[in-house]
C-alpha cells in the first residue's frame, strides 16, 4: 500500500490504545486496575449538562463559526481575565476540539517542514507526532541533572537556527512536575528575545497541589503587542472532568488566531455546537467542582506517594500537580514497555511505559481513579516485582500464582 511519508512516520497514541486494552480485558471479566488513565472520574458539572441539554432540546444544532460560538469565546475571555489577569478580545481566541486540536492547529500555523519544536522531557506523547505531522522535527530537552525540570540553559543549548517554537506543559504530563516560577519567567523572556513561539499548554494549571497557585506566563511577557508569540492553550477536559466533550482553546495574537481558524475551518469546522454550549455551562457555572477535584487528586497523590516511597528499588519524585506520577523502575527493568506488559499480563495492572514520554525505565502511574484502585494497584505491582513476596496473591476470589522469578 502506498502511504505518505508523514503517515508512515506517525505512531499510534499509546495512551488511547491502553484505554482500549483495559476496556477489552474488563469486558472479558479480568479484574483490571487501570493506573494508565488520563481522565478524572468525577461527573461533568451539572451546568454543562443542563446547558447542552437545553441546546439539544431545541433541535437546532447547526454549524458554528470555525473559531467557536460567541458565547464560548466570551466565557474564554472571562476565564483568561480571571485566571491570567489578561484582557483579550474575541479575535484573540479560538475554540477547538480539545486542547489537542488547539496545539495541533497552532503547530500547523507556525511550522514549516524541517523546522524544530522544542519541549522538555518527559513530554506528552503527542508532541513528537504532532511535529512530525507538520513535517517538522521534534526536539526533546533533557535536564542535565536528570530531574524532571530542565534549566533554562538546557533549553538554550538545544535552540538553533531551525528552532521555531517551544512547548511548555506545567504541571506536566507525565511527571506531575510543576516547573519553578523562575523557569517560566526565563522561558517567556528567552522566547521573546529569540523571537520564538511559546506554547504554554496549561491544561492542568488548576490541578495543582500543596497550596501552590498556577503560574501565569503573561506576568513575565514584556511584549503585549500583536507581535507577541505567546500562545496559551487550555480546555475543559481535565479541570471539569469533561474529556469526552472535546473542547479546548487557544489564546494568541489576532493574526495567528485568524490563520489557525482558517486551518481549522478546512479540517473540522468549528467544534460541535452542543459541546461548545456544554463548555459554556462549565466555565460559567459553579466552580466548586474544580476545587473538590483538586482536593481529591491531592489526597490520591498523598496515598500513592506514601505507598511508592516505601517501595524498595524504585525512585519517585512527588508530583506537584496533575494526576500522574512518573516513577523510575529501571532497577527492575530498563525496558519500560516490557515491564508495563509484564504487569498487565501477570497482575492486570495498566501503567504507561516511560519510553513513550521520552524516558525509558520509568512507568507513568495515574491516580485519577479511586484510592482503593491506587492502593490495590500498587500492592499488586509490589507483589509482582518483589522476589521475596509470597507465592500467591488473591484478587477477590481469584488466586494468582507466581510463575516467574
Ligand atoms: C499535556 C496534555 N495536553 C493536552 C491533552 C489533551 O487535552 P484535550 O482533551 O483537551 O484534547 C492532554 C490529555 O491527556 C494532556 O495530557
Q: How many CA atoms lie within 13 A of 183 on its CB side?
A: 20
pLDDT by residue (tens digit) across 264-322? 999 999 999 999 999 999 999 999 999 999 999 999 999 999 999 888 899 999 999 99
Going from the Cα of 248 to the center of ligand 1, the distance in angstroms, rounded, reads 9
- Round to whole Å and give the CA distance between 333 and 349: 16
Q: What are phi and psi of 326, to 5 degrees?
A: -120, 100
CA distances from 53 to 48, 49, 97, 165, 275 (A): 8, 6, 19, 40, 10
DSSP state of 218: G
Indicate the domain borders of the chain: 5-43+288-401, 57-284
- Quickly state the pLDDT bin for 216 (edges 50, 70, 90): very high
8 Å CB contact between 232 and 200? yes
8 Å CB contact between 260 and 127? no
Share of the chain above pLDDT 90, in %: 86
Q: Whose CA is nearest to atom 13 of ligand 1?
A: 38
pLDDT by residue (tens digit) across 74-114? 999 999 999 999 999 999 999 999 999 999 999 999 999 99
- Quickly state the pLDDT bin for 14 (edges 50, 70, 90): confident
The average pLDDT across 1-30 equals 82
Give the chain's mean pLDDT.
95
The neighbour count for residue 101, using CB atoms within 10 Å, is 24
- Quickly state the pLDDT bin for 29 (edges 50, 70, 90): confident
Going from the Cα of 1 to the center of ligand 1, the distance in angstroms, rounded, reads 32
Determine the atom of ligand 1 nearest the C-alpha atom of 236: 10
State the CATH class of domain 5-43+288-401.
Answer: alpha beta
pLDDT at residue 110, as a whole number: 98
Determine the atom of ligand 1 nearest the C-alpha atom of 101: 11
Q: Domain 57-284 belongs to what topology?
A: 3.40.640
Place of cell 496559551: 232
Going from the Cα of 324 to the center of ligand 1, the distance in angstroms, rounded, reads 13
pLDDT by residue (tens digit) across 226-260? 999 999 999 999 999 999 999 999 999 999 999 99
Stretch (H or E) spanning 108: helix 98-110
- Quickly state the pLDDT bin for 5 (edges 50, 70, 90): confident
Q: pTM higher than 0.85 for the full model?
A: yes
- Cβ < 6 A, ligand 1 pocket: 38, 98-100, 124, 169, 173, 201, 203, 235, 237, 243, 248
DSSP state of 149: S
pLDDT by residue (tens digit) across 39-61? 999 999 999 999 999 999 999 99
pLDDT at residue 188, as a whole number: 98
Q: Which of helix, strand or coil describes residue 88? A: coil
- Let me know the angle formed at the C-alpha of 213 by 210 and 217, rounded to the nearest 5 degrees: 140
Amino acid at each position: 500500500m502506498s502511504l505518505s511519508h508523514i503517515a508512515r512516520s506517525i505512531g499510534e497514541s499509546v495512551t488511547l490504545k491502553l484505554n482500549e486494552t483495559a476496556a477489552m480485558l474488563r469486558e472479558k471479566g479480568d479484574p483490571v486496575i487501570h493506573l494508565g488513565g488520563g481522565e478524572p472520574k468525577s461527573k461533568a458539572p451539572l451546568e454543562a449538562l443542563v446547558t447542552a441539554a437545553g441546546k439539544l432540546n431545541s433541535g437546532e444544532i447547526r454549524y458554528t463559526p470555525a473559531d467557536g460560538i460567541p458565547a464560548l469565546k466570551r466565557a474564554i475571555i472571562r476565564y483568561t481575565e480571571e485566571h491570567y489577569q489578561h484582557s483579550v478580545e474575541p479575535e484573540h481566541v479560538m475554540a477547538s476540539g480539545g486542547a489537542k486540536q488547539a496545539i495541533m492547529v497552532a503547530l500547523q500555523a507556525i511550522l514549516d517542514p524541517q523546522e524544530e519544536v522544542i519541549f522538555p522531557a518527559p513530554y506528552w506523547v503527542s508532541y513528537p507526532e504532532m511535529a512530525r505531522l507538520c513535517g517538522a522535527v521534534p526536539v526533546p530537552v533533557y535536564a542535565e541533572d536528570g530531574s524532571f525540570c530542565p534549566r533554562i540553559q538546557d533549553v538554550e543549548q538545544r535552540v538553533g537556527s531551525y528552532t521555531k517554537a517551544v512547548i511548555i506543559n506545567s504541571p506536566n504530563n507525565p511527571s506531575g512536575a510543576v516547573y519553578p516560577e523562575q523557569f517560566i519567567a526565563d522561558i517567556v523572556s528567552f522566547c521573546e528575545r529569540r523571537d520564538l513561539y511559546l506554547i504554554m499548554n496549561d491544561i492542568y494549571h488548576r490541578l495543582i497541589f500543596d497550596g501552590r497557585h498556577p503560574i501565569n506566563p503573561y506576568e513575565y511577557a514584556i511584549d503585549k503587542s500583536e507581535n507577541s508569540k505567546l500562545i496559551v492553550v487550555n480546555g475543559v477536559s481535565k479541570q471539569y472532568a469533561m474529556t469526552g466533550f472535546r473542547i479546548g482553546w487557544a489564546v494568541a495574537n489576532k493574526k495567528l488566531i485568524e490563520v489557525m481558524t482558517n486551518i481549522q475551518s478546512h479540517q473540522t469546522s468549528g467544534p460541535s455546537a452542543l459541546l461548545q454550549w456544554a463548555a459554556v455551562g462549565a466555565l460559567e457555572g459553579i466552580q466548586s467542582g474544580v476545587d473538590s477535584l483538586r482536593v481529591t487528586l491531592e489526597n490520591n497523590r498523598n496515598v500513592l506517594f506514601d505507598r511508592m516511597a516505601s517501595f524498595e528499588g524504585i525512585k519517585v519524585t512527588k508530583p506537584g500537580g496533575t494526576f500522574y506520577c512518573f516513577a523510575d523502575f529501571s532497577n527492575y527493568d530498563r525496558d519500560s514497555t516490557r515491564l508495563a506488559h509484564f504487569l498487565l499480563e501477570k497482575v492486570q495492572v495498566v501503567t504507561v511505559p516511560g519510553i513513550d514520554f521520552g524516558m525509558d525505565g520509568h512507568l507513568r502511574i495515574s491516580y485519577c481513579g479511586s484510592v482503593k484502585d491506587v492502593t490495590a494497584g500498587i500492592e499488586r505491582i509490589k507483589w509482582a516485582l518483589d522476589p521475596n513476596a509470597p507465592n500467591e496473591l488473591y484478587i477477590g476470589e481469584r488466586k494468582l500464582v507466581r510463575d516467574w522469578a
